[in-house]
Chains A and B, each alone.
Chain A
Amino acid sequence: MGSTNSTLLKIPNVEVLMQETGFSPAHIIRLHDRFKALDKEGRGHLCPQDFGAIKELAMNPIGDRIIGAFFSPGKEMVDFHTFVKILAHFRPVDKDRPKEPNSPELINSRSNKLKFAFQLYDQDKDGKISRDELLKVLRAMLGMQVTEEQLESIADRTIQEADLDRDDAISFEEFRKSLEKVNIDHKMSIRFLR
């Protein structure tokens, strides 16, 4: 336990971080270790190259988008706090936690999870998934398996299905609606080892 505390102490504002993300100290320490492992040069922050070094990520069809999600526009680095906060999106929702009406929305709330997914599509940050943006994601995910025409027809159909205001694009609201029946808490969560 002593080592636990000493590690925690090294992280600035760890209390706030835990408060915001809901991670336990054990989680934080584990993530901190991971953070340091990724930060090979010990700069205290990660750059895209550090993420690129993760072998499995290179195989992920939308890996680069996910890496991109860690970096706010224009910035080339991500510090530990941001790193943890992003990962906190994927913390399972704890049902035991009493719901306080005034408390700010938790990072791992349903709509925040959805927002994270949405921004992976919406690369130009205009609040809408356009047909081209959707196509790009589909192309990445489906790879060589389907023809361009098939991709386009899927994209068209997808947009048509979700597009409620007929603007030929999927807004976040439409995105949320189209996934209304999906158990997002379940499908957008991973189990963080304690």
Chain B
Amino acid sequence: MRGLSLLLFITVASDATTDLYVTGASLPPELEVSAAPAVTSPVASRYIPEEYGHPGIALARSAEEPAAPSTEDGESSSHHHHGGGGYKIVQWEWSYVQTPYIIASWLLVASVAKILFHFSQRFTTAVPESCMLILLGLVLGAVVLIASKKQPYQLDPGLFFLFLLPTIVGDAGYFMPARLFFDNLGAILMYAVVGTLWNAFCTGFCLYGVKMAGAIGELLWGLMDFLLFGALISAVDPVAVLAVFEEVHVNETLFIIVFGESLLNDAVTVVLYEVYISFVEVGPGNVYTADYFKGIASFLIVSIGGTLVGLIFAVILAFVTRFTKKVRIIEPLFVFLLVYLAYLTAELFSLSAILSMTFCGIGCNKYVEANISQKSRTTVKYTMKTLASIAETIIFIFLGISAVDKSKWAWDTGLVVSTLIFILVFRAVGVAGQTWFLNWFRLVPLEKIDQVMMSYGGLRGAVAFALVVLLDKEQVKAKDYFVATTIVVVFFTVMFQGLTIKPLVKWLKVPRSTNRKPTINEEIHEHAFDHILTAVEDIAGLNGYHHWRDKWEQFDKNYLSKLLLRKSVYHKSELWEAYQKINIRDAISVIDQGGNVLTSARLSLPSMASRTSFPEVTNVTNYLRENGSGVCLDLQVIDTVPGAKIEEELETHHVLAGNLYKPRRRYQSHYSRHFMTVGEKERQDREVFQRNMHNRLESFKSTRYKRHKKDRSQKKRKGSDAKEQDTSDKPRRNVSWQDKDPVVVPMAPEEDKHDPSEPDKYDDVGITFVARKAPETPKERPKSVSAALDVCQSPVAAPPSPTCGEKNLPWKSGMGSLPPCVSVEATKIIPIDLQQAWNQSISSLESLASPPAPPEPQHPRVSTLSRLGGPVRTPTKGKSGGGVCAASGSDTGSGQFRFPTGKEEEEEGTLSQQPQEMQPLMSSLRPPPPPATQSARKRRNPCVYLRSLVTVPPSGGGDPQSRRPTQL
């Protein structure tokens, strides 16, 4: 630990000193700009409100740049001119990199600090991170102070309000649980407006009273000064609340009320602050009655205006994301930019920026999340969280550092003590009074415990500090005292209350929040409850909350969503989304737990849809857990698999896609013996399942294409040889299937009906790929092909062991789709791919299994296949008749004779796909293999057959037209 802190010390110290070097010498342009005004009035101008809006303020600008001692100039000059004249081999370019360098160093320090805090689990559970950060800040501040004899760093209001605060508020607003927020909006507004006003006035007046009593202060301090101080010290601080409550996990209602209050009270604080500042400027004697009304009007404008600005930007943002389909990569940027612009715009018109940003986030979230891709969603989430977290860290560290700067503050024990007492008392009294009033109207009254927590959770923080630092010392004589008091108040609330709030929560047995995600049952039933309550309110003639919420939802559905959502998204319902999320979560957890999805468990997946057959299984996860055996998803296993004959992949896949049903069916019946009788229903279910998967996949389309290709090529290389030999293995496998075959046959016709759906699935995949990666594909293809060729011809590629073959074979068939799942890049994203992979793999598996199987089983399959691509079909049959895979060559079509040709074909297919998004289907449409193919077939029979089965992944068997609609 000591070593680490030493490291930190060194970093900071070097920052500090190096920073000083620069002051006298060459200032980077940005610094010059910001420093320029300071020259005129060194001390005061720094804090005048105009600087509030100065974007050019460097993060760690030296607080007293203009006054930097000249001695340091000497030092710096020595650094700058260490060479004589002429060319210097190594140059010291500190002034060039200074600003970003310092910023980066601070970020690094803050981040490393976080790592250190979390070394000890026990420690972090007891001490909130914010406390630790402030302490660290104090230490760092002391170090810097000792090292440089003055305090160059402090929390700069401009930096705080323009950069640090928005990142936190943006994160908070965007991820605000909207339903919860609006459910409690009444209470939140009450506490935010009435509560803050109450606190501000009471604290202000009482402090003034104490001053009049002679306990504190000097003669010069007037009533306005105290009211001003009361206004800025009374607002609950979103940063502090978030930091402390995040770790406490109180129940959602309590959290949303306190946190919502801390966000929404911004308007009150801003207005009070501005009003008092102006009063102070003109002097209390010159304030007329009209000015008070102006203040009220100003409040309305600031709050409502801020909200409107936020909502306008929310609409713009949602609308923009409607059209980002082709440029997924910058989707997150739009989110950040427009949310931030909402903040800046409100700031521009001196409206409530926090309100604006909060409502922008709340308003746009639903539409944006629906519009942007899953990857973008993840990006937005992580970026926002990262930024907010780092901003929070910096704020607390700088709070600590700022406190060390003795030159900034002056101590008055009376003021500090009475302020502390007043804010605590008035907060408690205010909360009790308002809650008493609110409980008349609340469905769920706020309990005593809640009130205690709300009073105790009224933390003050960096906003108050930044505001007090912004005061003009010329006008507010007591500024230094206020600064000191604010620091103490902030430290007391964040550290003392932050430390004790956890034990208090435990002691009072405050209901905690559960981090549980709702189950599908809860989603559905709660949805139903909403409707029930709305209906009951209508019947009882009460135009209550549910009535209006329902009205809003109607409006949203009929107009807003139509305007702001993509057509493809508009038709998805919330419940469906929830359902998909749950399924995805299951899949992710499966993979997290060892990922057995691709193993034998995978085979049983189809039955998932027909849960009827597996009542004991409660969900996918469990099911997989139960059934999944040892096989894990790892690349190598897949690669070793013998089977990817890549050349005919596309075509074969088409065929398979259309016909997979039968094999799958067979398999399933095998797997769930007891339920074979269920027949039709099961089939339906399976179909549904596939559709689900398909839908889920849609969101992930974009990513897949690339991966898919890579994987495929890989497989080609490794697998092509192996496949041929697999044929021998097949018989074995088939044995198990044989019994089932008869069962399957009857099903076949029904399954055929479903064919359209399957093509859709493939289509989507294909579409996605094409659209995004079009340029890349052509290049990649050739390489992979050649590679594959080499492998095939070279004996090196060893045929997999029979066991491997068994396991993998299913895989191969699904290869096109599967590889993505397996690929290393895909770590977290994999689940989705997996699901798709499941479908495909399952289907492909069955298809694979069937061919090797005795003639009987194959026939059904063949027939199904024949439907889609008549020409292709025949070849397959021939193969099957041959017993081994000989017939596979047919699929390749033109590329009969040599492997290369087959691959070329593939390429063609992919290429053609690219121009048209939905192209994958094209492959199916591709001209049936000419008669010549047959001869080719014979040559490479085994391989070809397998390949054909394995390959074709993305291309759906269906018609292009059908796919398009579905995708949209």
Contact = CB atoms under 8 A, between A and B. Distances in A.
Contacts of B582: 157
B522 A191 contact: no
A191 B520 contact: no
Given A166-B615, A181-B514, A190 B695 contact: no
Interface in B534-575: 534-542, 544-547, 550, 554, 571-573, 575
B435 to A, nearest CB: 15
B535 A57 contact: yes
Interface string B658-693: 000000000000000000000000001101110110
Interface in B349-401: none
Interface in B782-838: none
B767 to A, nearest CB: 19
B488 interface: no
A4 interface: no
Nearest to B183: A186
B280 to A, nearest CB: 45
B80 to A, nearest CB: 66
Interface stretch (B66-74, B323-331, B451-459, B524-532): B524-532
A30 B611 CA distance: 48
From A61, A145, A181, name the one whose CB has the most chain B CB atoms within 10 angstroms: A145
Contacts of B444: 92, 185-186
Contacts of A54: 538-539
A181 B538 contact: no
B525 A190 contact: no
Interface in A100-154: 116-117, 120-121, 137-138, 141-147, 149-150, 152-154
Contacts of A150: 576, 579, 688, 691-692, 695
A37 interface: yes
Interface string A51-63: 1001011011111
A90 B571 contact: no
Contact of B520 (A51, A158, A185): A158
From B538, B545, B695, name the one whose CB has the most chain A CB atoms within 10 angstroms: B538
Nearest to B533: A190
Contacts of A51: 539
Contacts of B519: 161, 178
Nearest to B681: A131
Interface size class of B (residues with CB under 8 A): 35 or more
Nearest to B442: A191
Interface in A148-177: 149-150, 152-154, 156-163, 166-168, 175
A75 interface: no
B526 A182 contact: yes
Contact of B611 (A142, A146, A159): A159
Nearest to A194: B440
Contacts of A153: 579, 609, 685, 688-689, 691-692
B538 A146 contact: no
A142 B691 CA distance: 17
A192 B441 CA distance: 10
A151 to B, nearest CB: 8
A1 interface: no
A75 to B, nearest CB: 17
A97 B579 CA distance: 39
Given A117-B525, A160-B619, A161-B520, A188 B685 contact: no
Interface in A5-54: 30-31, 33-34, 37-38, 51, 54
A66 interface: yes
A156 B757 CA distance: 19
Nearest to B253: A186
B540 A178 contact: no
B610 interface: yes
A107 B944 CA distance: 71
B572 A146 contact: yes
Contacts of A167: 615
Contacts, number: 182
A59 B514 CA distance: 35
B529 A145 contact: no
Contacts of A191: 441-443, 542, 544-545
Contacts of B687: 149
Contacts of B536: 66, 87, 90, 190
A190 B576 contact: no
B532 A181 contact: no
A87 B571 CA distance: 34
B528 A154 contact: no
Contacts of B542: 190-193
A154 B520 CA distance: 8
Contacts of B441: 191
Interface string B479-521: 0000000000000000000000000000000000010100111
Nearest to B445: A95
From A120, A158, A162, name the one whose CB has the most chain B CB atoms within 10 angstroms: A158
Given A146-B572, A161-B519, A178-B521, A168 B533 contact: no
B518 to A, nearest CB: 8
Contacts of A62: 528, 531-532, 535
B521 A161 contact: yes
Contact of A57 (B525, B533, B538, B616): B538
A144 B572 CA distance: 9
A66 B541 contact: no
Contact of A60 (B525, B531, B689, B757): B531
Contacts of B579: 150, 153-154, 157
B615 A142 contact: no
Contacts of B571: 144-146
B91 interface: no
A156 B611 contact: yes
A141 B575 contact: yes
A158 B524 contact: yes
A187 interface: yes
A63 B535 contact: yes
Contact of A56 (B520, B529, B533, B550): B550
Contacts of B522: 178-179, 181-182
A128 to B, nearest CB: 14
Contact of B521 (A31, A33, A158, A187): A158
Contacts of B544: 190-191, 193
A192 to B, nearest CB: 7
A147 B691 contact: yes
A144 B570 CA distance: 11
A82 interface: no
A168 B612 contact: yes
A160 B618 contact: yes
B524 A160 contact: no
A175 B695 CA distance: 28
A189 B413 CA distance: 51
A145 B531 contact: no
A58 B293 CA distance: 47
B824 to A, nearest CB: 31
B206 interface: no
A153 to B, nearest CB: 4
A166 B615 CA distance: 5
Contact of B540 (A31, A166, A186): A31
Contacts of A60: 531, 534-535, 538, 550
A192 B444 CA distance: 13
Interface in B577-615: 579, 582-583, 609-612, 614-615
A146 B576 contact: yes
A57 B573 CA distance: 21
Given A56-B547, A117-B525, 8 more contacts: A38-B541, A56-B538, A56-B550, A66-B532, A141-B528, A146-B573, A149-B688, A191-B441
The 4 closest A-B pairs by CB, nearest first: A166-B615, A160-B611, A153-B688, A34-B541
26 contacts: A34-B540, A56-B534, A56-B547, A60-B531, A61-B531, A62-B528, A142-B575, A149-B691, A149-B757, A150-B688, A152-B684, A153-B579, A153-B691, A157-B520, A158-B524, A159-B611, A160-B611, A167-B615, A178-B519, A181-B522, A187-B526, A188-B532, A189-B533, A190-B533, A190-B536, A193-B542
